[in-house]
Each structure stands twice: as structure tokens, then as C-alpha cells.
Amino acid sequence: MDSKTIMMIVLGVVSVASLMFVFLAPTQKDKAAKRASRLTNKTVDAKGGGANADSGKDRRKAVADSLKKIEDRNKEHAKKQKLTLEQRIAQAGMNFNEKQFYIGSVICGIVFLAIGLITRQNLAVTGLMGVVGVIGVPNWFLSHLRKRRQGKFVLEFSNAIEVIVRGVKSGLPVNECLKMIARDAQEPVRTEFHLLTEGIRVGLSLEQSLDRMYERMPINEVKFYSIVLLIQQQTGGNLAEALGNLSGVLRNRKMMLGKIAALSMEAKASAVILGALPFVVAGLVHMSAPDYLQPLLTTSEGNMILIGAGIWMSIGIFVMRSMIQIKV
């Protein structure tokens, strides 16, 4: 090939390449459009991230407001910690009213007075027995029933929450789960959830119904349950997961209480033995020598000694009780 032919070929290739560059290369408008598209996508992403961040902040703020509101309500309950007799009777699960309680207290006092008169006790001792019968024994019995009912509720409450968790996971509404518990659970959980569902049915809000439930059963487990439901209602979230976590916490709490009771059983047995020892010794001495302790019952000095010994022994019992009682 001569030089002219090679020059013609090179010029032809350059011409074709120039035409392809002119027609196929992106124009300035296309570049601007792509640049604008990239900027738009970044703006959208930034706005989306900001929206997600804002929604997260709103959710956290709602949770904080709910917790503050619940804390304020608990403080109001703490200020009203002085329970009326009607509230104590309701918490004990009894059906009698205040008038019947007072009548029973008077009858109990009369019985104690009769015991003092039959055993020919001193007038001061007999009067003290009457006061114990009217005030001490009925109130102690009511407090005992109240604590026993709360203990039964705690034992069954975690199972009730598990029913709600399984029901929500299977697609049932929360109200249906509450009705199932009110129908099939053990007492006293059944009664409390029945009153809860009845309150919702007659038009009370969930918050008002839970407040009334806490007034009837003032224990920490019901407080935790109320907090979970109210926060979920106001802020949303996975109710089954939240209640499942609460159920696990309550079961661990119950196991810890059982361990504490087992570890403190030796101290409780020692306290019972020390508290019962004076009465056992006095009974054995009276059986072996009836006249030996008679001055304690027939003379005023002996009665004062008995009263002082009873006061000191009561102080010792309360101190031992506070030492072996662990609150969680």
C-alpha cells in the first residue's frame, strides 16, 4: 500500500469515530438530567431517613410521656396508701360489708371477754383481752385473707399472661383473650379479669379499668401489666412480644421469691421456736407446779410484769420478722 491509501484509511476511521462520538455520546442535557436525578434520589433518601428518625423520636417521646403519666398516677396511689375498710374487704375477696365486719368484731370481743371472765383473770387483763378481740383479731384475720389472696393471684397471673400471648399470636383480639381468662382461669385471677372485662364492656377505658384492677389488687405484677398494655396502646408495637417478656420476668420473679423463702426458712423456724418457747415453758411449769406462777395472774405486780414481758416479746417478734422478711 502506498502512503496515499494509508492516509485515506486513517482519515476514514477518524471520521467514523467522530460521527459516533457526536451521535452516541451523552449530551450536556443528559448529563444534567442524570446529575439532577442523583441529587433527587439523595434528597429523597435524606428525607426518608429524616422521616424515620422523626418517627423514632416521636415514638420515644410518646413512650416517655406515657411512663411519666403512669409514674404520676402511681405517686397519687402512694399518697392514698391509707386503705379504707371497704377497700381492704374488697382486696380480701370477702362479700360482707362494713357493718357486718363491725358486728363480727364486737362478737369476737365478747367471746374474748367471756374467756377472760371464765378463767377468772384480772379486770385489766380481761379488758385487754376484749380490746384484742374487738380490734386485733378481726384486722389480723382480714390482713391474712388479703395477703393469701394476693399470693394466689401472683401464682396464677403469669399463666394468664401466657394465654394472652398465645391468643394474640393466633390472631385473636385482646378483649377475647381477656374474656377467655375471665371464663377459664383459676381464682382469684378469674374474678379480677371478669371485673376488668365488665368495666370495658360498660364503657370504661382500658386505663380506667386497669386502675380499678390495681386498686383491688395492689401488687407490682398488676402494675407491670398495666404499664405494658398502656404503652402498647398509646405507642403501638408487638404486644405478644412485650407480654411474653413480661411473663418471663414474672416467672423469674416468682422463682426468686421461692428461693428467698427456702433460704429464709431456717431463720423463720428459729423465730417461731423463740417466740413459742416462753409459752411452752410457762405451760409446763403450770402443769408441774400450779401455784408457782399464780402470783403473776392474781397480783397487780404480777400483771404489770406480764404486760411488760408481753410488750418486750412483741418488740422482739417484730424485729425478727423485719430481719427475715425480704421485699422484692
- Does position 5 have pLDDT exceeding 70, yes or no? no
- Please answer whether residues 159 and 185 qualify as being in contact, where contact means their C-beta atoms are separated by less than 8 angstroms: yes
Q: Which amino acid is at 302?
A: G
Least confident of 37-46, 171-180, 317-326: 37-46
C-alpha cell at 199: 368495666
- Does position 279 have pLDDT exceeding 80, yes or no? yes
Q: How confident is the model over 40-81, as pLDDT tens digits?
A: 454 444 444 555 555 556 656 665 666 666 666 666 665 556
pLDDT (average), residues 244-273: 82
C-alpha 243/C-alpha 193 separation (Å) is 16
- Please answer whether residues 235 and 66 qualify as being in contact, where contact means their C-beta atoms are separated by less than 8 angstroms: yes
pLDDT (average), residues 187-205: 87
What percent of the chain is modeled with pLDDT above 90? 4
- Does position 82 have pLDDT exceeding 80, yes or no? no
pTM: 0.64
pLDDT (average), residues 274-290: 85
C-alpha 139/C-alpha 108 separation (Å) is 11
Which is nearest to 117 in space by CA: 109, 108, 105, 126? 126
Give me the long-range contacts of 11-17 (CB less than 8 A, separation at least 24): none
Q: Where does residue 122 fall: left (phi above 0), alpha (psi -120 to 50 degrees), or beta otherwise? A: beta
Least confident of 126-140, 191-205, 220-234: 220-234
Those residues whose C-beta lies under 8 Å from the C-beta of residue 292, and which sit 6 or more positions away, are 285, 286
pLDDT computed for residue 108 by the predictor: 92
- Does position 110 have pLDDT exceeding 70, yes or no? yes
pLDDT computed for residue 23 by the predictor: 52
Distances (CA, A) of 241 to 66, 162, 165: 19, 11, 8
Please report, to the nearest 10 degrees, the dihedral formed by the alpha carbons of residues 213, 215, 219, 220 taken in order: 80
User: Could you tell me the pLDDT band of residue 233, with boundaries at 50, 70 and 90?
Assistant: confident
Start-to-end CA distance of the chain, whole Å, equals 104
- Please answer whether residues 177 and 193 qualify as being in contact, where contact means their C-beta atoms are separated by less than 8 angstroms: no
pLDDT (average), residues 182-202: 88
- Please answer whether residues 170 and 237 qualify as being in contact, where contact means their C-beta atoms are separated by less than 8 angstroms: no
E strand map for the chain: none
pLDDT computed for residue 176 by the predictor: 86
Least confident of 208-217, 261-270, 272-281: 261-270
What percent of the chain is modeled with pLDDT above 70? 74
C-alpha 75/C-alpha 73 separation (Å) is 5
Which is nearest to 225 in space by CA: 182, 173, 162? 162
Domain boundaries, the chain: 264-328
User: Could you tell me the pLDDT band of residue 326, with boundaries at 50, 70 and 90?
Assistant: low
C-alpha 206/C-alpha 226 separation (Å) is 9
Q: How confident is the model over 118-167, as pLDDT tens digits?
A: 887 778 878 888 888 888 889 999 999 999 998 889 888 888 888 888 88
Say which residue, 9 or 93, is predicted with more confidence. 93
| Cα 326 off chain centre by | 17
Q: What is the mean pLDDT of the chain?
A: 77
pLDDT computed for residue 265 by the predictor: 81
- Does position 4 have pLDDT exceeding 60, yes or no? no
User: Could you tell me the pLDDT band of residue 107, with boundaries at 50, 70 and 90?
Assistant: very high
Least confident of 71-80, 197-206, 257-266: 71-80
- Please answer whether residues 157 and 106 qualify as being in contact, where contact means their C-beta atoms are separated by less than 8 angstroms: no
Instruction: Name the H helices within the chain.
Output: 3-24, 28-79, 85-92, 98-118, 123-131, 137-169, 174-184, 189-201, 206-216, 220-235, 239-263, 265-288, 294-298, 300-324
